[in-house]
Structure 1
Amino acid sequence: MNQTATTETTAKQILPGRSAGGTAQRLLGRLSGGLAFALSLLLCLFLLAAPMAAQAQDSGTGTNALLSDADFAEWNVLAETAQETLNADVATDAELNALRAEVADWRQRFQDQRSANSTEIQTVQAQLDTLGTAPAEGEPAEAESVTEQRATLTERLDTLQTPVRQAELDYAEADSLISAIDSRLRSRQTNALLEVSSSPLIPTIWPTAMADLAKVFTTMGSNVAASWNDPTSRQTFRENLPVIAAVLAVAFLLVVRGVHWLERLANRFIGDDRSAQRWLLRFVVSLCQIIVPVAGLSLVAFAAASSTLFGLPGETLAVILPMAGLAVYLARWIGNYSFPASENEAAAEVLTANQRREGRIYTLIFGLLLGLSLLLQAAESNADWSDATHNVLNFPILVVMGLFLLRISRFIRLRARADHGEGEAGFRNQMTAFLARVVAILAVLGPSLAAIGYFRMGETMTIQTGISLELIATLVILQRLVTEVYILLTHNRDGARDALAPVLIGFLLTLLSLPLFALIWGARGTDLAELWSRFMHGFAIGDTMISPESFMILLLVFVVGYGATRAVQGALKTSVLPKTRLDIGGQNAVVSGLGYVGIFLAALVAITTAGIDLSSLAIVAGALSVGVGFGLQTIVSNFVSGIILLIERPVSEGDWIEVGGQMGFVRSISVRATRIETFDRTDVIVPNADLISGQVTNWTRGNLIGRLIVKVGVAYGSDTRHVQSVLQEIAESHPIVVMSPPPGVIFMGFGADSLDFEIRMILRDVTQVLIVQTEVNHRIAERFAEEGLEIPFAQRDVWLRNPETLQPRTAPSPSTPKAAGTQDPAAAASAITADDMEGGDPDAD
């Protein structure tokens, strides 16, 4: 008991005000996620600044100055007090947060201390490495000056490393204390959610709750009367009355008339014109519909504080009034965009006008209920209500919120059912339908849990579900904003749906909104700051530390090296290599090889510049290489074959080759495969290993010269000498035919139907072989017609062995009498025998 009392006394001395603000902090914290969400949506920059600001608050003001012995002693006292506070478990959440902030400040100082003297330590260590180790026993002795210098450097190194080692120990202790405090706070938060309190359905606690609520107004009235009876307060109010009146007048104009004027201005931008400029102007005006009335409510709060009549409860309500107004007008803004009144919006194709009007009303009422909940929280922070009073007064709000969320989930489900797309649309509809089901379940489950006594859990489910839904709707609106800006810049509305830039920005917005979702559902800012700090610190792979800073350096150096490689490649390909004697294939090989070498060097320099030591990964890389060698041996074979193709260059880009039954032009040679474009304009991908190990015919290797053979047949009886001279003239007269060696005409032999000749000629451009062959054939036909030479064609005699089967089997007409002595045709045909068809004597009997 004495030890515990001592611990509590120590904690109170170090952490003052434990009981003064603990209740207010606990009550106001119940909707802190909602407040943070409302503020962050108004200031979209919070998406980027929240983790960094939280980290700055957590880290404190670090310093690079060396810590003295007095600093370490002060830390030891704080560490001991923090450990005693955790063991006693009597500190409030506010006190633990204050303690954590102080410990985090010391941890940052220790982090800076760990890198102190780093340059000097490296210098001394390099000198020791230069001197080497002391000679072992039995080895020749070294000079005495070297021994003395080594001892001096060793002592100096130990002196420099002592504060660094101490900082590392204290850093580990501070980090452990912070983890323990975070664990304690999370445990308390979980226990608070699972705590069972009084059910708001118990009628016996209703009168007490109504009395507590009435007491708030009674207290405010008493404070106003007491302040008015105080001459000093009354005099202050009279002096500030002109300012208060002017401020209230401006506030009235901003809240009442300002919203009306802005609505009229926004309606001017609603019409058949769906241009991006008009939509963006309307968006800016709609933002003013949030800013202007909230500014007016802020003036009301200022006027209330300036009057000095309402006391602490009234001033607390006045301070929270702009927050409540922000919740209302933000919900109204979201409802106007999610359920637009205009028939030109996409939502009009899914929901009817009445359904959209209902959606706007439900969203507005949810904002009103959220603002009312904030005002109740402010009143509760000063009145110190019991849990029963809190449950009774907030339960109707949760029930109505749940009903409206249930209706809104129905509209979301209708939106998902209206579009039966596939691919991206199908995935989006699945996620929308899933969201509708989750919202419906939580809208029913939240008030139900609150009714049976799990009020904190039910309250969190209902309110945070609505706030999360508002955040999702805001992300959708921001995505539409990004799309309209893209349309304004590109003047292409049809291509905006399939554009990549809006999708990437939308993904980035979703990624940056994750901290907001975490805050809404109970995560503390210190938790996010801790995650950000560990992320920035990096992670270790062996002895190598990978941090975002080193990764950015690596990426930047690699991008610069890659760009330099591409620039050199372009300069060589367009300016230098065309002036050399290298052929096109050699030039492409040099450019490709330079690209591979440049990328490898860029990666190597980037890794070295980032300070990443890959020597510790040598064993792992060796083991992986064995597995990769077996699993990817085909790919490796193609890779090596690609390098061989670039070096030996048996095949170059632009060559006409034939491989594996495929014929075409080589369009590109990569490290894995070669792309061939056939004459049918189809691409054939051939693995490089097939080009190295298989048989390849290259028609244009080194030059475009090739041979064409044209076969010609003439009729028997033609003058073969004359035919040969005619064909020789035709071949020599073509302009593409090479005359050295001259074309030749060969009499190949005697065919079954013709005398066979061949024209063999060398072409300057073998790629024109079909054109030349066509022109030569045309010229042969023309000259043969002029010379009277005949091109024979095959003739065949057809022998019918059973011609009777070809006769029509028709019966004679009954009206035609049969003449005497006339033979029946069928009988006559049957009288013809096979000997008659074979040429027998018809007169022989």
Structure 2
Amino acid sequence: MSNLPVIFAHLWRSLVLLILLTLTLQANANEFATERLDALSAQLSVAETAFRQQTRQDISKLDNLTTTAANLEQSAKTCITQQEQQQTQTQQAMDSLGEATTDEDADVKRKRKELTEQKQQIEKTLSQCRLISLRATTLLIEARQARQTLLKQQLFAHSASVFDYAQVILLEPGIWKTEINGMLHTFGNLPLHRNNVWMALLYGVAGLVAGMFWSIQKRRQYRETLPPIHATSPTLAAVWISLLRFLPYTLFTGLTSLSLYFSPPGVPIILQLMQMLLLFSLSYGVMHSLLRRAVQVEGVVPPNQRTGHKLYFWARLLIITTLIGTIFHSPLLDSATQASTDPSHLVGLIRIVIGTVVGFSLARLIWLMSDHFLFIQRIRLHWLAAGTLVIAVLSLYAGYRNFAVFLFSGVFGTLFLLLAAWLLLKIPTEIFDGLDAGATPWQQRLRQQLGLRNNQLVPGLLWVRLTNTLVVSGVALILSLRLWGMPEQNFTLLLTQLTSGIQLGGFTLEPLRIVSGLLILALLVSLTHVFKKNLAESWLRRTTLSRGAREAITTVSGYAGILFAILIGLSVAGIQFENLAIIAGALSVGIGFGLQNIVNNFVSGLILLFERPIRRGDWISVGTAEGYVRDISIRSTTIQTFDHSDIIVPNSQIISGQVTNMMLNDNFGRVIIPVNVAYGADTERVMAVLQEAANAHPLVLKDRSDMKINVFFRSFGDHALQFELRCFIRDIETKARVTSDLNLTIDKALRQQEIPMPFTRSEPYTWSGKTVKSQDLS
């Protein structure tokens, strides 16, 4: 006991040394934070100066400033978080020293002073971080507002209208000659990198020739029979056929675009034309194949010959005018002459005319396609597109060229996105439906490997469907937002949040991890069924366990595998299991109020699986329900009656009620056949006939002492002598057939022995007691 003060003194000094080490590390972190803050402040000052000194605002410069301000704001927030954590740790260390006293140890006083100074330094650093965060946030808001204002000004910048262009062309007849000469001069003096262009064309021609030979070979093959993938997915087969049909053009435009992308031609419009040709060839080919009568795709109605000609006419007109419009909307033609910077009136008029034709062609094409693509009617896409295109054409006539180009680009891009999204949703859906139905041989083999019965859905496939829908819809939505004007910084921030997670209070929602969790869940649930199939059909068959024990192990293994898959899926999705205590508490309250029956059935299901009073395939009787046990799940038991109707019985009724199991220990069963003969018949001969009939049947047991054949003379009835045959059969499931066989045998034997069978004759009487003969009834 005398050593206790010494021990406490050593412990106190150790604690002080530990605090000293911690504070030293924190001081180093603070020194690093101070240096970093100086750099951040200097960088922010440069960005603020650049923003204030802009004489002419530029979108690209504003984008760079917005990115810089966003990064500085994020760094400042990180600094604030770190300093607040250090502030909390320092305050906890000061609290651990207790209140200051006059007689405390000198080391404690020194450490208390150091902690106080460090707290002041942290508060100072924290103030600087908050100031930088405020400045960065202010700069970010101002840069975004300036960008939005500039975009609005550019988008709604007014230029000459169609009437202005027409008036100049009509009143000044010679101006169009000058502007034509200017256009010819522009086209004749393009700053082309001819070597790059010729090399790109060489690659394109090589792809064109190779694609032509391969396309001809494959199309000859598919003229006789459809491609093998048609049974798996008709839509995928249609896309494949379209790729084969337009493969030469696709390879030409694709390889040329790829070559021009890495080796620029000097004139951007050439690369844009090749990229548009590539998109148009793919889209035109896919729609052409989907609308063929030979390819039956759900949701697509093939057109008749007349409507088909209309569709192809408007599609070709749209492609040609769009390509011409791309050329005339090039900045190369924004000047009337070489010496003038004013827009060309003739080019402006041509732009308006081409824009009108493009808008009308696209609206007409979408309107015609709405009768054949049902999803267009379902979402009223033809009305939306037609309204937007009318606004775009009117804007073009009024002189708002930038706004019209924005609307045209948005409609074109949205249509391409919708077509791609529809294909990415349609093709997997057809494959998944085929897996659930076993439509093709490879899908049937896969279902066999999973141990699935007919009309049973593939386990886990629901989550794959959901994942595919979420991913495709999400990507299409994000790209649509970017297409319709989402700033690049917001787009990058959205992608970053999708990758790193979105903070919702104290919970971090990570979409990519959630998608990964759904895929892992689907995969593990499918593997669980494969494991159950192998466990039941291969591994457990080699053991000496009974059939009921094997089924119980298989069922419990399946539920354990699904539980394991759920836990792994939740873990991959980023769900913290320590937060599940709240869910468990809520479930306990729910169980106490509304989930008693469900929990009762769940526990009863576990008892049925382990105690095995009934097994799959048993013939049982529960209340008014009688039939074979087809399935025993955790919640309920399925009984199939003799007329093939299914009865779902909660497990709690089976455990708490009376159940008759004809096949619990064995399949033996007893058959009782009552026989009535007329008075005067030889009773010994009757009993001998019944005995011989039972002995002659092969399914009747004859060699067991506890299951003998018994014939009884039961009683003297009102109209007949009553006998009864009792015997046991090997399989209770054959009871109806054995009863029928014995009845036929007994009837035949009684006829041969001339033993009369009784029959009851009914005679009607009047109220007076007289008998009425049958001929008088008429």
Question: TM-score scaled to structure 1, two decimals?
Answer: 0.65
Q: Are 2:41 and 1:92 equivalent residues in the alignment?
A: no
2:397 to 428, 438, 451: 451
User: How far apart, in 1, do the equivalents of 2:532 and 2:614 lie?
Assistant: 21
What is the correspondence of 1:659-738 to structure 2 with a 5 Å cutoff? Answer: 659-731=622-694, 734=697, 735-736=700-701, 738=704
Q: Are 2:744 and 1:778 equivalent residues in the alignment?
A: yes
Which residue of 2 is the match for residue 431 of structure 1? 378
User: How far apart, in 1, do the equivalents of 2:573 and 2:214 lie?
Assistant: 55
What's the offset of the Cα at 1:749?
Answer: 1.4
Gap change, CA 1:113 and 1:477, over 3 Å in 2:
same
What's the offset of the Cα at 1:662?
Answer: 2.2
2:757 to 781, 788, 791: 791
Task: Say if 2:334 and 2:343, in contact at 8 Å, map to a contact too.
Answer: no
Task: Say if 2:197 and 2:260, in contact at 8 Å, map to a contact too.
Answer: no
Which residue of 2 is the match for residue 411 of structure 1? 368
Gap change, CA 1:793 and 1:164, over 3 Å in 2:
farther
Gap change, CA 1:384 and 1:406, over 3 Å in 2:
same
What's the offset of the Cα at 1:648?
Answer: 3.8
User: How far apart, in 2, do the equivalents of 1:252 and 1:610 lie?
Assistant: 48
Task: Say if 2:385 and 2:411, in contact at 8 Å, map to a contact too.
Answer: yes
Q: Are 2:41 and 1:76 equivalent residues in the alignment?
A: yes
What is the correspondence of 1:48-87 to structure 2 with a 5 Å cutoff? Answer: 69-80=34-45, 82=47
Gap change, CA 1:362 and 1:335, over 3 Å in 2:
farther
Aligned residue type for 1:75: L
| Residues 743-752 or 81-90, more deviating | 81-90
User: How far apart, in 2, do the equivalents of 1:790 and 1:155 lie?
Assistant: 121
User: How far apart, in 2, do the equivalents of 1:573 and 1:151 lie?
Assistant: 73
Higher alpha-carbon Rg: 1
Deviations 1:675-727 (A, max 9, x none): 11222233222222332344432222232233322111121122334434543
Q: Secondary structure at the match of 2:372?
A: helix
1:760 to 726, 749, 761: 726
User: How far apart, in 2, do the equivalents of 1:165 and 1:440 lie?
Assistant: 56
User: How far apart, in 2, do the equivalents of 1:561 and 1:184 lie?
Assistant: 51
Q: Secondary structure at the match of 1:777?
A: helix
User: How far apart, in 1, do the equivalents of 2:693 and 2:331 lie?
Assistant: 107
Gap change, CA 1:475 and 1:762, over 3 Å in 2:
closer
Q: Secondary structure at the match of 2:724?
A: strand
What is the correspondence of 1:241-280 to structure 2 with a 5 Å cutoff? Answer: 272-273=223-224, 275-276=226-227, 280=243
What is the correspondence of 1:7-406 to structure 2 with a 5 Å cutoff? Answer: 69-80=34-45, 82=47, 91-106=57-72, 134=96, 178=140, 181-182=143-144, 184-190=146-152, 192-194=154-156, 198-202=160-164, 206=168, 272-273=223-224, 275-276=226-227, 280-291=243-254, 302=265, 318-328=267-277, 330-331=279-280, 334-335=283-284, 337-339=286-288, 349-352=303-306, 354-376=309-331, 379=334, 385=342, 394-406=351-363
Which residue of 1 is the match for residue 16 of structure 2? none
Aligned residue type for 2:715: G
What's the offset of the Cα at 1:183?
Answer: 5.3
Which residue of 1 is the match for residue 606 of structure 2? 643
Deviations 1:221-264 (A, max 9, x none): 69999x9xxxxxxxxx9xx9xx95x7777778889999799789
What's the offset of the Cα at 1:755?
Answer: 0.8
User: How far apart, in 2, do the equivalents of 1:169 and 1:725 lie?
Assistant: 113
User: How far apart, in 2, do the equivalents of 1:321 and 1:577 lie?
Assistant: 69
Deviations 1:785-823 (A, max 9, x none): 4544332222334568798997899xxxxxxxxxxxxxx
Aligned residue type for 1:469: L
Q: Secondary structure at the match of 1:202?
A: helix
Which residue of 1 is the match for residue 406 of structure 2? 460
Q: Secondary structure at the match of 1:748?
A: strand
1:748 to 714, 719, 726: 714
User: How far apart, in 2, do the equivalents of 1:684 and 1:706 lie?
Assistant: 24
Aligned residue type for 1:350: N
Q: Secondary structure at the match of 2:163?
A: coil
User: How far apart, in 1, do the equivalents of 2:571 and 2:118 lie?
Assistant: 30
User: How far apart, in 2, do the equivalents of 1:292 and 1:94 lie?
Assistant: 30
User: How far apart, in 2, do the equivalents of 1:808 and 1:794 lie?
Assistant: 19
Aligned residue type for 1:77: A
Aligned residue type for 2:500: H
Amino-acid identity (%)? 24
User: How far apart, in 1, do the equivalents of 2:560 and 2:204 lie?
Assistant: 67
User: How far apart, in 2, do the equivalents of 1:555 and 1:115 lie?
Assistant: 33
Structure 1 unmatched ranges of 5 or more:
1-63, 228-236, 303-314, 417-426, 810-845
Deviations 1:77-124 (A, max 9, x none): 33345467778896432221111233455567679989999xx99xx9
Task: Say if 1:710 and 1:758, in contact at 8 Å, map to a contact too.
Answer: yes
Which residue of 2 is the match for residue 534 of structure 1? 497
Question: TM-score scaled to structure 2, two decimals?
Answer: 0.69
Gap change, CA 1:88 and 1:646, over 3 Å in 2:
farther
Task: Say if 1:254 and 1:295, in contact at 8 Å, map to a contact too.
Answer: no
What's the offset of the Cα at 1:396?
Answer: 2.9
| Residues 775-784 or 334-343, more deviating | 334-343
What's the offset of the Cα at 1:530?
Answer: 1.1
Task: Say if 1:255 and 1:293, in contact at 8 Å, map to a contact too.
Answer: yes
User: How far apart, in 1, do the equivalents of 2:558 and 2:388 lie?
Assistant: 57
Task: Say if 2:668 and 2:731, in contact at 8 Å, map to a contact too.
Answer: yes
What's the offset of the Cα at 1:570?
Answer: 5.3
1:600 to 552, 563, 582: 563
User: How far apart, in 1, do the equivalents of 2:180 and 2:152 lie?
Assistant: 31
Gap change, CA 1:650 and 1:330, over 3 Å in 2:
closer
User: How far apart, in 2, do the equivalents of 1:146 and 1:708 lie?
Assistant: 97
Deviations 1:436-486 (A, max 9, x none): 222222222211133345443333223432343345456678889999999
What's the offset of the Cα at 1:770?
Answer: 1.8
Q: Are 2:550 and 1:587 equivalent residues in the alignment?
A: yes
User: How far apart, in 2, do the equivalents of 1:720 and 1:165 lie?
Assistant: 116
Deviations 1:155-202 (A, max 9, x none): 999999999999899789757855664455345434544565553423
Task: Say if 1:331 and 1:366, in contact at 8 Å, map to a contact too.
Answer: no
Q: How many pairs were matched up?
A: 695
Task: Say if 1:262 and 1:285, in contact at 8 Å, map to a contact too.
Answer: yes
Task: Say if 1:730 and 1:779, in contact at 8 Å, map to a contact too.
Answer: yes
